[in-house]
């Protein structure tokens, strides 16, 4: 198996870099020098092995940012702000819609994953646990919060997420909706 990641030193400023050997060159995030991979001073090599749980959790967190307002900083020092509308899971390349950058407004922007240094979210995540606790007061021992799925299950038949009821009907579902609406109003949140 080929070592995929290289820990190397920038030949110009001596900053440590982590380079992906699948690419032809690496740009130093400190001095912006573009160095061919075969000219890097290699300190260590590694094959990235992420446990299936950690990898799945990482991709869940990234996919939770879809359709959210984010800021992306590139290795060239450029910052783009926009709505994250797509992610390439293999290379972590992204698509931003209605982005703003130094050169102005950009309707659709695709950024290669190899140049992304940081992705930041501006939106606070929805607090499923607090909503679950509120529902638990009305429906004792009949509420299950499933954080990994982003859903609360009430009475094993009513499903609620950050947008409201997604499955279920009847008087119990109407009561769940009222508790949800009250929770949203008190927290000052907006439902998408």
The CA-atom distances, in angstroms, between 192 and each of 10, 20, 163, 189 are 45, 38, 6, 10
Instruction: Report the chain's mean pLDDT, rounded to a whole number.
Output: 83
> Which tens digits make up the pLDDT trace of 74-102?
989 999 999 999 888 777 889 999 999 98
**Which residue ranges make up each domain of the chain?**
5-46, 52-121, 128-187
Tokens at residue 154, please? 């009430």
Cβ atoms within 10 A of the Cβ of 2, count? Answer: 7
Among 3.30.1330.10, 3.30.310.60, 3.40.50.1000, 3.40.220.10, name the CATH number for the domain at 128-187.
3.30.310.60
CATH class, domain 52-121, is: mainly beta
pTM greater than 0.75: no
């Amino acid at each position: 198996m080929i070592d995929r990641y290289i820990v190397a030193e920038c030949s110009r400023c001596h900053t440590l870099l982590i380079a992906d050997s699948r690419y032809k060159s690496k740009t130093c995030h400190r001095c912006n020098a573009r160095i061919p991979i075969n000219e890097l001073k290699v300190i260590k090599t590694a094959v990235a092995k992420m446990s299936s749980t950690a990898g799945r959790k990482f991709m869940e967190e990234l996919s939770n940012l879809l359709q959210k307002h984010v800021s992306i900083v590139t290795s060239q020092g450029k910052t783009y702000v926009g709505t994250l509308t797509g992610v390439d899971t293999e290379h972590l390349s992204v698509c931003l819609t209605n982005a703003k950058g130094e050169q102005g407004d950009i309707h659709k922007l695709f950024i290669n994953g190899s140049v992304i240094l940081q992705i930041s979210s501006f939106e606070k995540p929805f607090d499923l646990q607090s909503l679950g606790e509120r529902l638990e007061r009305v429906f004792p021992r009949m509420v299950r919060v499933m954080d990994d799925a982003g859903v609360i299950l009430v009475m094993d038949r009513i499903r609620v997420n950050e947008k409201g009821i997604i499955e279920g009907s009847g008087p119990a579902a109407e009561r769940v909706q009222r508790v949800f609406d009250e929770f949203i109003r008190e927290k000052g949140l907006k439902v998408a």
